[in-house]
Structure 1
Amino acid sequence: MLATLVEGKLSDAPSVKSYPQVTPVEESETLTIPIGISNRHVHLAQSELEKLFGTGYELKKLKDLSQPGQYACQECVTLCGPKGVIEHVRVLGPVRPDTQVEILQSDTFKLGVPGVVRLSGDLNETPGVTLCGPKGSVQLQQGVIVAQRHIHMLPEEAQAIGVTDGESVSIKFNGTRGGVLNNVVIRATNQAGLECHIDTEEANALGIKPGTTIGILKNKTNN
């Protein structure tokens, strides 16, 4: 931010500091792929689903998502943290082995939980939160993450562009507020649709809108 916000008011402007020039990312090739923008959402295990919505409850599909077999559900839950609540958080299906809550960095301040950046499924030593549904509530001991930005692709697509599963790359967007985002993890699996996933805060920072494309930067040192 250009100014510091303190208790709802702008603080005195800090003195201007001179920073060394940032070395731009060197690239030999830019590979263009579609981008998907995610808001906060919840993946539920069957046990938590039934505690929140009732015994034997099954998720109701609202619409399919870009990744094969994934879909948004009609159901929403409320997140309750030590400092506040966030209502109408969408549930995504299908059910998973472990419940996972993906929030935005700004949500961590509203809820009062640490912001732990992780890939989906990496839930050890992450904070918990209380989920509230129409039939009950669940106190999670872990499972709340800020999603690490990542790119889904098939193994053959990864091989074709010279990257491997788990490797970090950079992405570039050339819009008016465009720029480069580093530490984007490749997720190469046999059931994947080619797409880069970032959250709404990252998209807003670069002026990226749904349906646009970004470029993967291949560093010269990796060739």
Structure 2
Amino acid sequence: MSKPIPVGISARHVHVTREHLDILFGKGYQLTVKKDLSQPGQFASEEQVDLVTEKGAFKKVRILGPERKQTQVEIALTDALKLGIKPPVRDSGDVKGSPGLTIVGPKGEIKLAEGVIAACRHIHMTPADAAEYGVKDKDIVKARCDGERGLIFDNVLIRVSDKFKLECHLDTDEGNAAKIGTGGTIELIK
């Protein structure tokens, strides 16, 4: 049995570029840290935007910082039903060919041609963690969670960087299916 891995549940959120932040909130606007996230240097900002499609909308969706090289919206597949879109399940940053939507801020809006994904479940690890668990970056593994609705997750992506902290990221649909929340743990199965 391997050492338990902490879980973080990821709700719908937006990552924005400097250019898009200027359009949404005004030239030179800086994100305000609301709460630091588990991954070093990452934070939930005070700033929120609306996500809009022809079929639906979500109000007050949090922007996560810091700014990114490309704007990306991460939603759960249940969220996609309300928006009437079909996002692919992908690793963060892989948005090519994904659906778009409109992001509305207090000063302007962005019409994304692509950029909406359902993030694939993944485990962040340092190189030392990867060595301990016997895995490498981009490996695909299984992970088990116990409990009342315990289950085994297939197709869990390993992401290794010295900038990461050990944590498994699941979206809200996955967390609800397993009845696990932030602070719970999973066990890596190769």
1:180 CA drift (Å): 0.4
Return the letter of the residue paired with 1:56: G
1:217 CA drift (Å): 0.9
Q: Could you give the per-residue CA deviations for residues 45-68 of structure 1, whole angstroms, max 9, x where no partner exists?
A: 011111110111110110100000
- What residue in structure 2 maps to residue 15 of structure 1? none
Q: Could you give the per-residue CA deviations for residues 26-56 of structure 1, whole angstroms, max 9, x where no partner exists?
A: xxx3331100001000000011111110111
Report which structure shows greater RCO (CA 8 Å, sep ≥6).
Answer: 2
- What residue in structure 2 maps to residue 84 of structure 1? 56
Counterparts of 2:97 and 2:18 in 1: how far apart (Å)? 22
Tell me the number of residue pairs that the alignment of Structure 1 and Structure 2 aligns. 190
Q: Is the aligned partner of 1:115 residue 2:87?
A: yes
- What residue in structure 1 maps to residue 17 of structure 2? 45
Counterparts of 2:75 and 2:159 in 1: how far apart (Å)? 20
Unpaired runs of at least 5, structure 2: none
Structure possessing the higher radius of gyration over alpha carbons: 1
**Normalised by the size of structure 2, how large is the TM-score?**
0.97
Q: Is the aligned partner of 1:196 residue 2:174?
A: no
Contact residue 44 and residue 62 of structure 2 kept, 8 A:
yes
- What residue in structure 2 maps to residue 69 of structure 1? 41
Q: Could you give the per-residue CA deviations for residues 162-188 of structure 1, whole angstroms, max 9, x where no partner exists?
A: 111000111111101101010000000
Contact residue 172 and residue 214 of structure 1 kept, 8 A:
yes
Measured on the aligned residues, the alpha-carbon RMSD in Å equals 0.9
1:76 CA drift (Å): 0.3
The equivalent position to 2:154 in structure 1, one of 178, 182, 196, is 182
Counterparts of 1:201 and 1:30 in 2: how far apart (Å)? 25
Q: Could you give the per-residue CA deviations for residues 86-144 of structure 1, whole angstroms, max 9, x where no partner exists?
A: 11100000000100100110111111111210110111111111000100110001110
Unpaired runs of at least 5, structure 1: 1-28, 219-223
Return the letter of the residue paired with 1:91: I
Return the letter of the residue paired with 2:120: Q
1:200 CA drift (Å): 1.1
- What residue in structure 2 maps to residue 24 of structure 1? none
Counterparts of 1:204 and 1:74 in 2: how far apart (Å)? 25
Identity score, percent: 49
Contact residue 82 and residue 113 of structure 1 kept, 8 A:
no
- What residue in structure 2 maps to residue 103 of structure 1? 75
Structure 1 runs (4+) greater than 3 angstroms displaced: none
Q: What are the equivalent positions in structure 2 for 1:139-178 lying under 5 Å apart?
A: 139-178=111-150
Q: Is the aligned partner of 1:60 residue 2:32?
A: yes
**Normalised by the size of structure 1, how large is the TM-score?**
0.83
- What residue in structure 1 maps to residue 188 of structure 2? 216
Return the letter of the residue paired with 1:146: A
